[in-house]
Structure 1
Amino acid sequence: MQRISDEQRRRRLGRRHLLAPSIRAQAPVAVADALVALHATDAATVFLSACARLADASVEAVERALYEEVGLVRLLSMRNTLFAVSAELAPHVDASTARAIAAKERRTLVKHLAEPVNGLDERWLAETEAAALAVLGARGSATGSELSAAVPALRTKITVFPGKKWEAVQGVASRVIRVLAADGRIRRDRPRGSWTSSQFRWIASEPWPAGSAADSRAELARRWLLSYGPGTEADLKWWTGWTLTEVRTALAAVGAEEVALDTGTGFVAAGDTAPESPVEPWAALLPGLDPSAMGWADRDFHLDKDHRLALFDRSGNIGPTVWWNGSIVGGWAQRADGEVVWRLLTEPGSDAAAVIEAEAARLSVWVGEARITPRFRTPLERELTA
């Protein structure tokens, strides 16, 4: 069995995730494809992850890809999480993962509506959705509040989990909009505020063409292996949210090869066992939930276990991180005055400081006047901004 060491895994990460300056990408879509998908739960993460890997980092380039060219699209998909993926990959993400999530979201909403205390049904939901889509068709785009103002049904209040300790009364608008977006009938357009805002306008769209779930799972597994391999069954199961049977079937379908790791065994794409050539020394300041930190369930090959308490929140979300040659060595934050600051948790050597400093300066330049506060705040990020 071919062996791939942790050092080789870190080399793969640096090269395949476009983190060394000499191999940075020219376009945001290329970044998304190199990483398979960009986390989009926090609106700023898409921009920070993309620009960390662009030869010419700019907010405008990412906005153009998202809203003008629509080469990047957001889908509620892996692990019931919002991701930005290339339009070319989106049908596979939809068929492999997002379709099932959309169906579950709809079932859940219908169940809430049908509670006796609410007295609503699928017909009411269909009529409300049609009215919302008609407004978007007439206006071109609208915020959630604008849709609610134009469609009276969206101002309906429902009681969820009646009789339970966690019973609550909620507005139905956000749930209806979420279901429409999960179905691919609407998509997020430019936000009301800056690129760091999650208050999006919505625009009508067409659902992705129906495809084979099994074939699309195989394609997504193949791409994940090329970007994140070697990885284990547990890693791919965690990253996708699939069942273990679905993971094993997808790996078999693409002829994944088993390899020996420094601890245990993993898989790579068929024929992808050659040693990775080194790249120049590199540093990166990556955002919370960046794909390079969230690509595996087991991250011991690039993350010291002793640093987890400082870098993760209580739900397991990783915050902004400082990287050196494939390992996480610290964390960073942006203070209220715009200064980018960091703290090293591991001493990476004398050569690292100047490279990290230069990368922090590059980040400050393209971020400009924007202020970034991660949605999921971690102990170290809070300390640095105190």
Structure 2
Amino acid sequence: MRKVTDDERRDRIGLRHALASAAACVEDAVRAVTCLHATESSSIYLSAYARSRADRESISDALFGRRTVVRQLAMRRTVFAFPVDLLAAARGSASARVVRQLTARLAKDAELAGIDNGPAWVADRCAEALAAIREAPGTTAQLRARLPELNARIAAEGRPTELAPVGSRVLSVLAAGGSVIRGDNAGRWQVSRPVWTAVEQWLGEDPGVLDEREGYRELVRRWLWSFGPGIEDDLGWWLGATKTAVRRALDDVGAMPALLEDGTPAWLHPDDEEQVRLGEDWAALLPALDPTTMGWRRRDFYLGDHGPHLFDGAGNAGPTAWWNGRIVGTWTQQPDGTVRVVPIEPLSLAAAAALEEEAAKLTAWFDGEVVASGYVPPIVRGRASRGSG
């Protein structure tokens, strides 16, 4: 059985994730990590830049011009930016699971608010919203103005004593199902204000939906190439799926068994037999929730004991600084837009110089714009509270 050392796994990050050498285009940068986290609009741009060195105009063109990268609510009820050819797989598997969860919760909350037959009410609201979007795409606020039913107030999800308009939850159900897409952005590049658009209008045709088994098989196949070797727990967490679904998908893919350095059983892509060696140094500055940082549940081989400095209590990571496949710090922006590296361990001269060079390049890419993130690493929050900047 093939054994994959931690050193090789770190080399794989540099090569497979297009961090040691840039991908040829934005689309290749996205495929390198299967899909990009898109909870924050700015993360799409920063993750794509880190892997392709593309400017903002090129990234925007992939999202809104060529429309080869599409935002979709999927694994773990998180928004991701998928290559368009992976959309059918996501919609049939991870997204379908999210649709069931969102629909059931919304129907239950509707009935708690005194509405009869919650499931039928949700279906009616979704049908009305979809028809309105097909007639004319719009932001959430615009659709609420056109459809008074979306302003009905029921208990906010997870906060039963707080009432909130139902519009955003109805649109989330439609978005997870894939009938509507986060189309144009009514905000600036770093702020997400999606114009909800029917999928066939945005892409020219409906990309279809794979059945659940095929969908999970394709997601797992791509994840294994990007992130393998991985253990079942990594895949189950990343997919937000059951152990049964993960094991069936691994079997369907023909995944190759392997061992991690400590002897833990793991899995590789069936075509991934050759040992990977990089043989060169590399540095990278990645944004909050970057797919490399968030790609595994078991992160010790690249994170070490730095987790408390970088992850919040919900398991979300802030920006990270990488050296040769390990997280060695974070980074922040100054008020003038300058990027500053914040080490969380002693750095060699080579690492410090390489990361400073990356910081200078990223500063130039920002071109004076300052981007605020909702995911500030604990180490940065701690310094700010002490007045250290």
Q: Give the TM-score category using the shorter length.
A: over 0.9
Match of 2:197 in 1: 203
Match of 1:374 in 2: 373
Where 2:275 maps in the other structure, the secondary structure is coil
Q: For each residue in 1:213-263, what CA deviation from the matched residue of structure 2 results, as whole angstroms up to 9, or x when unmatched?
A: 112212211111111111111111111111111111111222212222212
CA contact (8 A) 1:233 1:247 kept: yes
Mapped pair 1:301 → 2:313: no
Given candidates 32, 35, 38, the residue that maps to 1:37 is 35
CA distance in 2, matches of 1:194, 1:227: 30
Supply the AA of the counterpart residue of 1:142.
G
CA contact (8 A) 2:330 2:341 kept: yes
Match of 2:316 in 1: 317
CA contact (8 A) 1:283 1:356 kept: yes
Match of 2:165 in 1: 171
Shift of 1:382: 2.8
Match of 1:60 in 2: 57
Given candidates 71, 75, 80, the residue that maps to 2:77 is 80
Match of 1:243 in 2: 242
CA distance in 1, matches of 2:346, 2:90: 39
Match of 1:17 in 2: 17
Judge which range, 292-301 or 277-286, deviates more. 277-286
Relative distance call for 1:126 and 1:331 in structure 2 (3 A) is: same
Relative distance call for 1:322 and 1:160 in structure 2 (3 A) is: closer
Match of 1:186 in 2: 180
Q: For each residue in 1:35-79, what CA deviation from the matched residue of structure 2 results, as whole angstroms up to 9, or x when unmatched?
A: 01111111111111110011x421111111111211111111112
CA distance in 2, matches of 1:219, 1:173: 32
Judge which range, 90-99 or 284-293, deviates more. 90-99
Match of 1:156 in 2: 152
Which stretches in structure 1 are left out of the alignment for 5+ residues?
A: none
Q: Cα RMSD between the aligned structures?
A: 2.0
Supply the AA of the counterpart residue of 1:151.
L
- Aligned residue-pair number: 379
Percent identical: 37
Shift of 1:104: 2.3
CA distance in 2, matches of 1:137, 1:244: 38
CA distance in 2, matches of 1:354, 1:119: 64
CA contact (8 A) 1:186 1:205 kept: yes
CA distance in 2, matches of 1:127, 1:295: 37
CA contact (8 A) 1:25 1:31 kept: yes
Where 1:179 maps in the other structure, the secondary structure is helix
Relative distance call for 1:42 and 1:250 in structure 2 (3 A) is: same
Which stretches in structure 2 are left out of the alignment for 5+ residues?
A: 201-205
Shift of 1:333: 1.0
Relative distance call for 1:114 and 1:226 in structure 2 (3 A) is: same
Match of 2:220 in 1: 221
Match of 1:253 in 2: 252
CA contact (8 A) 2:89 2:215 kept: yes
Where 1:109 maps in the other structure, the secondary structure is helix
Given candidates 109, 112, 115, the residue that maps to 1:112 is 109
CA distance in 2, matches of 1:131, 1:38: 31
CA distance in 2, matches of 1:364, 1:165: 40
Where 1:103 maps in the other structure, the secondary structure is helix
Q: For each residue in 1:344-368, what CA deviation from the matched residue of structure 2 results, as whole angstroms up to 9, or x when unmatched?
A: 1223311122211111111111222
CA contact (8 A) 1:330 1:345 kept: yes
Where 1:341 maps in the other structure, the secondary structure is strand
Judge which range, 123-132 or 181-190, deviates more. 123-132
Match of 1:331 in 2: 330
Shift of 1:123: 4.7
CA contact (8 A) 1:331 1:344 kept: yes
Shift of 1:165: 8.1
Relative distance call for 1:165 and 1:157 in structure 2 (3 A) is: closer
Given candidates 126, 129, 145, the residue that maps to 1:129 is 126
Supply the AA of the counterpart residue of 2:221.
R
Relative distance call for 1:80 and 1:124 in structure 2 (3 A) is: closer
Judge which range, 376-385 or 258-267, deviates more. 376-385
CA contact (8 A) 2:18 2:32 kept: yes
Where 1:218 maps in the other structure, the secondary structure is helix
CA contact (8 A) 1:287 1:319 kept: yes
CA distance in 2, matches of 1:352, 1:310: 19
CA contact (8 A) 2:341 2:356 kept: no
CA contact (8 A) 1:128 1:151 kept: no
After TM superposition, the score normalised by the length of structure 1 is: 0.92
Q: For each residue in 1:266-312, what CA deviation from the matched residue of structure 2 results, as whole angstroms up to 9, or x when unmatched?
A: 1111141322131431110001111111111111111121x211111
Shift of 1:116: 5.4
Supply the AA of the counterpart residue of 1:196.
Q
Supply the AA of the counterpart residue of 2:133.
L
Mapped pair 1:46 → 2:40: no
